[in-house]
Chains A and B, each alone.
Chain A
Amino acid sequence: SQQGEEDPQALSIQEGENATMNCSYKTSINNLQWYRQNSGRGLVHLILIRSNEREKHSGRLRVTLDTSKKSSSLLITASRAADTASYFCATEGVQGAQKLVFGQGTRLTINP
């Protein structure tokens, strides 16, 4: 079963604009990770944020985490056509179970 929901399910913007995706989850977590997937195949790890962190940056990516609201957001600045993909958040629980529980994903389309 899915951990939570991602919002929006689909997002279409113009190249150069910023894209924001949100993720909500249900249980306490060890960390939260964001992945990108092209064409329904392998996932590429983007960024990991620990439960005691509130914000993290990596290049054009900015991730926030609010554990009180059980939510996270991924911001991609200055989007490019190559950013077109599905984006998934995934959480790892606190009990040492290292399985990831994924959301349903946001399908991002960048229009040139």
Chain B
Amino acid sequence: GAGVSQTPSNKVTEKGKYVELRCDPISGHTALYWYRQSLGQGPEFLIYFQGTGAADDSGLPNDRFFAVRPEGSVSTLKIQRTERGDSAVYLCASSLGGGGRGAKNIQYFGAGTRLSVL
């Protein structure tokens, strides 16, 4: 597609429920990233995929959070037993990947999913 697509754009759920957030990256981008942004803060890194594998999941806050990218394209962020503190905008980004210092590292962001846990 033309850009990174995230669905749903808004998700309201109750404490304790399970949610899935979807990210469809730019076609041909091998690297995919998830970030979380709380109100008034900058985005915070959650996990990074290179292809199908999670190259860096050091930002996942706990084992309630899990992400997959089974075919190296679409990714799903899964949150179990949601808590009110999980409320935030979840941002997905993709890039060409491949290392170096230049344009391949530019990350293109989706519009995000605003998650509200009541």
Is A42 in contact with B112, judged by CB distance below 8 angstroms?
A: yes
B115 at the interface (CB under 8 A from A): no
CB interface residues, A 64-112, toward B, < 8 Å:
88, 90, 92, 96-105
Known contacts A43-B43, A99-B56, A105-B42; A50 and B107 CB within 8 A of each other: no
Interface residues of A (CB under 8 A from B): 1-2, 30-31, 33, 35, 40-45, 48, 50-52, 88, 90, 92, 96-105
Is A42 in contact with B101, judged by CB distance below 8 angstroms?
A: no
**8 Å CB contact of A43 from B31, B45, B55, B91:** B91
Is B42 in contact with A41, judged by CB distance below 8 angstroms?
A: no
- Give chain A residues whose Cβ lies under 8 Å from the Cβ of B42: 2, 88, 90, 102-105
- Give chain B residues whose Cβ lies under 8 Å from the Cβ of A88: 42-43
* Number of chain B residues close to chain A: CB under 8 A: 33
Is A99 in contact with B106, judged by CB distance below 8 angstroms?
A: no
Is A41 in contact with B111, judged by CB distance below 8 angstroms?
A: yes
**8 Å CB contact of B45 from A40, A44, A51, A99:** A99
The CA of A40 and the CA of B10, in the complex, are separated in Å by 13
- Give chain A residues whose Cβ lies under 8 Å from the Cβ of B37: 40
Write the B87-118 contact mask toward A (1 if CB under 8 angstroms, else 0): 00101010101010111011111111000000
- Give chain B residues whose Cβ lies under 8 Å from the Cβ of A100: 33, 35, 43, 45, 107
Q: List 7 A-B contacts (CB under 8 A).
A: A40-B37, A41-B112, A42-B4, A45-B107, A45-B108, A92-B105, A99-B33
The CA of A31 and the CA of B95, in the complex, are separated in Å by 15
